Structure 1
Amino acid sequence: MLTTASSRLRRFLAARLSPEGEMGLHLTVGLALLLAAAWIFGVIAEDVVTGDTITLVDVRLARWFHDRATPGFTRAMLFVTHWNSIAGSCVMGALLAVWFWRRRAHYWLIVCLVAVPGGMVLNVALKHVFQRARPSFDDPLLSLLTYSFPSGHTAAATVLYGLLACYLVRRVHAWRGRVAIVLAAVAMVMLVALSRMYLGVHYLSDVLAAAAEGAAWLAICITAVSTLHRRRLARGETSWSEHAAEDLR
């Protein structure tokens, strides 16, 4: 009986780590990323709600940025933050969707149409759950009346640039190219997060939680669509383009 149980366990693990199959490696990696990102978000959210040490760091860092603001850097950060605003993210998301459609990458198109607007709705819902006030200054660089936690700009940037990076990584085979793509996506998210903190409309914990939120949501979307694609292949449904099939493998 022990031998049978061990054999079943080995078969189960082999299936979960196999790059093929509808419940293989893609699902294992997706669930691992989802759980890790959700855990990070939960830890940060708990610390914010209970007023833990991170909230003290939040206030000090917000004041540090505000005291060192310069006109030139403020203009640069305003450009970054407006470019990656909700309206800007919607435009970039629409352009990315058109690009996927023109390339006949239908499954990636589905991910884009679900992940980008869905992530924005999720962020608004979380803001109303936590209802955290934004940083307050006597002479603010930028004033907003909505809630602070988590950062909508950072979450949208994580989903958008993360989605683009995932697609490009699947298309590029050289490891240096893949590393460069991932680093560029991370840099863009960090730049957006920096702009929100510098302008005094978000705390450090806001942008960290938003990045985790965006990563978790993107993992859900990509994993779900990839599983759908693999199930269609397993059932012999090949009505969609071969480009879409190759992109998600």
Structure 2
Amino acid sequence: MTHGLLGKLRRFIEARLSPEGELGLHMTVGVALMLVAIVVFHELAEAVMGAEQITVIDLQVANWFNQNAVPWITSCLLVITHIHGVIGAITLACLFAWYLHRRRAHYWLLTLVITMPGVMILNVLLKYVFGRARPSFETPLLQALSTYSFPSGHTATATALYGILGAYLVCQTQPGQWSRRVAIVAGAFLMAVLVGFSRIYLGAHYLSDVLAAMAESCGWLAICIAGVSTLRRRRAVRQDQ
């Protein structure tokens, strides 16, 4: 009986690590990334709600940027932050969706359609769950917002959007072109970081708001990509039968 159980366990693990299986390596990686993101988000949320050391760092960072703002940097980051607002994010997502449709990348289009509205709704729900007030200054760089601060909506949507774009471009890259793949991943990551930085610099969010938003978005994105990949593989298997 022991050998039988070990055999079943071995086959189960092999199936989860198989690159070809319907619920193989892609789903395993997706679930693993989601779980890591949940742990990171939980730790950040717990630290923020418990008023731990990170909240002190949040205030120090926010006040430093507010007191040491450089006019031309402020102007540039205002453009970045407005481009990635709700209307801007929807516009960028629609343009990307149109591009994917023209390229007949239907599964990537489905991923985009699931991911973007999903991360926006999730972010709004989390804001109301935690109800954290935004940073407050005597001379704010950005008009005060009435919505809650934790986590950052701009950062969450930007991370999801550039994450999908980066993943799509990486998958379109020829095997062996590792330098191009690294450049794509780095570019997508830096764009999400830039949007998050603009929110901290302009005093719209704390550092922890941005970090939590990136964790939230990465977890949601990982499971969306894994889920659509599973659907694609399952349909491919059925067509071959």
Q: TM-score under structure 1 normalisation?
A: 0.93
Displacement over 3 Å in runs of 4+: none
Letter in 2 for 1:120: M
Tell me the equivalent position of 1:66.
66
In the alignment, structure 1 residue 196 sits paired with structure 2 residue 199: yes
CA shift, 1:125, in A, is: 1.0
Identify unmatched segments of 5+ residues in structure 1. Answer: 239-249
Q: Distance in 1 between matches of 2:167 and 2:38?
A: 19
Letter in 2 for 1:155: A
In the alignment, structure 1 residue 212 sits paired with structure 2 residue 215: yes
Alignment of structure 1 residues 1-249 onto 2, 5 Å: 1-142=1-142, 143-172=144-173, 173=175, 174-236=177-239
Q: Distance in 2 between matches of 1:153 and 1:194?
A: 10
Letter in 2 for 1:196: R
Deviations 1:95-126 (A, max 9, x none): 11111111111111111111112111111111
Letter in 1 for 2:20: E
Q: Distance in 1 between matches of 2:60 and 2:233?
A: 49
Q: Distance in 2 between matches of 1:31 and 1:168?
A: 22
Deviations 1:36-56 (A, max 9, x none): 011101110111111111111
Deviations 1:4-56 (A, max 9, x none): 32222221111111111111000000001100011101110111111111111
- Could you say what secondary structure the match of 2:239 adopts? coil
Q: Distance in 1 between matches of 2:52 and 2:221?
A: 28
Identify unmatched segments of 5+ residues in structure 2. Answer: none
CA shift, 1:221, in A, is: 1.1
Q: TM-score under structure 2 normalisation?
A: 0.96
Q: Distance in 1 between matches of 2:11 and 2:82?
A: 51
Deviations 1:130-151 (A, max 9, x none): 1100000000011211110000
Percent of residue pairs identical: 54
Letter in 1 for 2:232: H
Q: What's the RMSD between the two structures over aligned residues? A: 1.2
Q: Distance in 2 between matches of 1:70 and 1:24?
A: 50
Deviations 1:54-109 (A, max 9, x none): 11110011011111101111101101101111111100100111111111111111
Q: Distance in 1 between matches of 2:240 and 2:95?
A: 28
- Could you say what secondary structure the match of 1:235 adopts? helix
CA shift, 1:237, in A, is: 7.5
